[in-house]
Amino acid sequence: MSIILNKVNYVYSAGTAYEIQALKNVNLKIEDGEFIGVIGHTGSGKSTLIQHLNGLMRATSGGIYYNGEDIYDKDYDMRGLRSKVGLVFQYPEHQLFETTIFDDVCFGPLNQGLSKKEAGVRAFEALNCVGLSEELYYQSPFDLSGGQKRRVAIAGVLAMKPEMIILDEPTAGLDPKGRDEILDQIAKMHKERGITVVLVSHSMEDVAKYVGRIIVMNQGEVMFDDTPNGVFRHYRELEAVGLAAPAVTYLLHELSERGLPVGTEATTVETAKKEILKMLASLEKR
Amino acid sequence: MIRDITIGQYYPANSPVHRLDPRVKLLGTLIYIISLFVFKGFAAFVLAAIFLVAAIKISRVPFSYMVKGLKAIVVLMVITGLFNLFLTQGTPWVSFWVFTVTYEGAENAALMLIRLAFLIIGTSLMTLTTTPNQLTDGLEKSLHPLSKIGVPVHEIAMMMSIALRFIPILIEETDKIMKAQMARGADFESGNIFRKAKAMIPLLVPLFVSAFRRANDLAMAMEARCYNGGTGRTKMKPLCYKRQDYIAYAVLFLYLAAMIALRFVWTYLSALFGW
């Protein structure tokens, strides 16, 4: 179970005055069960990249293979692919349309050809999974708060039981509490169901906290593809392309530059705390 | 996907035609259209063609963009051409089965096709070299005298520019919602017309909701900046005629004068040689 991208190129508005190459020779392999973060400056090709993963955009050149099958094959089941690779767009709450939340979440499963009853079960599970309280299920999605709407929209994709879920900035415009709740639920799903997750984010802290591998996009190219520690080690290069490392990385580097015996690898507050305590203990010993 | 549709189709370049005052281009297009329909004769069309080609050359817009505009009316042109060809009375030229082509018919058809092609190319030259904002600014300023008799010129121009500005936004939004629903397994292509119409609901409901939301936000933002219509409002980029604009006007009127002169010469020559 994996997705392989082989030399994928994508050009917007080819042959006009507005031509832009959004992806340049992208080679990637995404394994089953990974939790991947995609970061990059605005316009770096993140959104274009993820829309290739479920076939919504067609590469200008290059190939994409899902579980070893070429998705650009003439008789490849593209709709089948889309139910295996769920994609939650930025501001997904703008896609809600049904009269009740429950019906909206049923939309995906019904499109998969499930019966009303089965779709209902799926919708129930998915809404439960995103932590929406039951008394809301039969209300209009337009009466909800922003955070609740977003949960409904994410549930709408989860209800299709994808093997892989891609989220494009799922926390944009949410308050810190809403942000943590949504990300925690995604992490829980990854752990419990073993679902592959690709998280596009602007927040280095979020990415460092949850993901196991980071892909850094810059001007349509993959700049880094490594573990969080490995990527944030290059924090100077990240800054040069308009990105940054988590705040704790800066703190640790600063401490180390001033001659304190501290490791600079930590990227989350928790691991940084451990590093600093370790350093303090070793200083006391002297 | 739908993103590739260009409406208003501005072609960014830095050419003398792009820099002209939009009022000059509006009036110029109007004069050109009138000249195409009022004047007859071979010489007049040669002059119109020279004028058009020169304008295109100066504008630095690739010729292929002009032809794109023609594609949209190919059907119309074919039908017009055929009607003129077969249904004009006169001296028979070729005849087969029940159809008769007359000399007058062939001439009419050719003239009509040239006219239509020039018309479309001429007007697309204006939209290709003028941004929608400049265009509405030009319209507002040109029609300003009408506000004295109670026509809300400023409001109409504002509505036009908002509407034009929203076209690409709504197209992008449609594209986004379509993709989001396709990611949930929606199918917009297959099925009969009723199924297709029903499949549009998941697209249209969010699209309307977002259009209203955007309209609300825009109204709020305008009010927050104390927008209260056109009275006393100044422009960031006021339209002023410059030297190049006067030159362009001079060229336009020379063209018009030449067309009028040609018309008289043509009638005179026709009478003389009995064409």
Confidence of residue B269 (pLDDT cuts 50, 70, 90): confident
pLDDT at residue B88, as a whole number: 77
Extents of the domains making up chain B? 2-130+241-273, 149-224
**Alpha-carbon distances, residue A56 vs A38, A50, B183, B233, B253 (angstroms):** 18, 9, 8, 46, 53
Residue B215: CB atoms within 10 Å: 12
pLDDT at B3 over 50: no
Domains and CATH numbers, chain A: 33-58+74-228 (3.40.50.300), 246-286 (no CATH)
Q: Residue A53 belongs to what H/E stretch?
A: helix A46-53
Give the pLDDT confidence score for residue B190 in this predicted structure: 78
Tell me the C-alpha distance between A127 and B66, whole Å. 53
pLDDT recorded at residue B7:
46
Express each pLDDT in B211-250 by its tens digit. Answer: 999 999 999 999 999 888 777 788 888 888 888 899 999 9
* Closest chain A residue to the Cα of B181, Cα to Cα: A95
Task: Look up residue A39 and give its two tokens.
Answer: 């970061």
Phi, psi for A97 (deg, rounded to 5): -145, -20
Tokens of B222: 């305008």
In this model, does residue B5 exceed pLDDT 70? no
Q: Which of B13, B183, B202 sits opposite A54 (nearest CB)?
A: B183
For chain A, 286 residues long, give each residue's pLDDT as a single digit of tens.
Answer: 688 999 999 998 777 667 888 899 999 999 998 999 999 888 888 989 999 998 888 899 899 999 888 888 888 888 888 888 999 999 898 899 999 999 999 999 999 989 999 999 999 999 988 888 889 999 999 888 888 899 999 999 999 999 999 999 998 888 888 888 889 988 988 998 889 999 998 888 888 889 999 999 999 999 999 998 888 888 888 888 888 888 888 888 888 888 888 888 888 888 889 888 988 888 888 7
Q: In this complex, which of A16, A17, A87 lies closest to B183 when CB atoms are compared?
A: A87
DSSP for B226-244? T---STT---SS-----HH
Please check whether residue A104 is in contact with residue A151, taking contact to mean a CB–CB distance below 8 angstroms: no
Per-residue pLDDT at B220: 95
**Interchain contact B4–A (C-beta under 8 A):** yes
Q: Name the band, by pLDDT with cuts 50, 70 and 90, for residue B28.
A: very high
* DSSP assignments along A177-238, one per residue: HHHHHHHHHHHHHHHHH--EEEEE-S-HHHHHHH-SEEEEEETTEEEEEE-HHHHHTTHHHH
pLDDT, one tens digit per residue, over A100-125 is 999 999 999 999 989 999 999 999 99
Q: Which residues of B touch A160 (CB under 8 A)?
A: 184-185
Q: B204 to chain A nearest CA, in Å?
A: 8
Q: Sort out which chain B residues have CB atoms less than 8 A from A108's CB and list them.
A: 184-185
Question: Residue B130: is its pLDDT beyond 50?
Answer: yes
φ, ψ for residue A199 (rounded to 5)? -115, 120
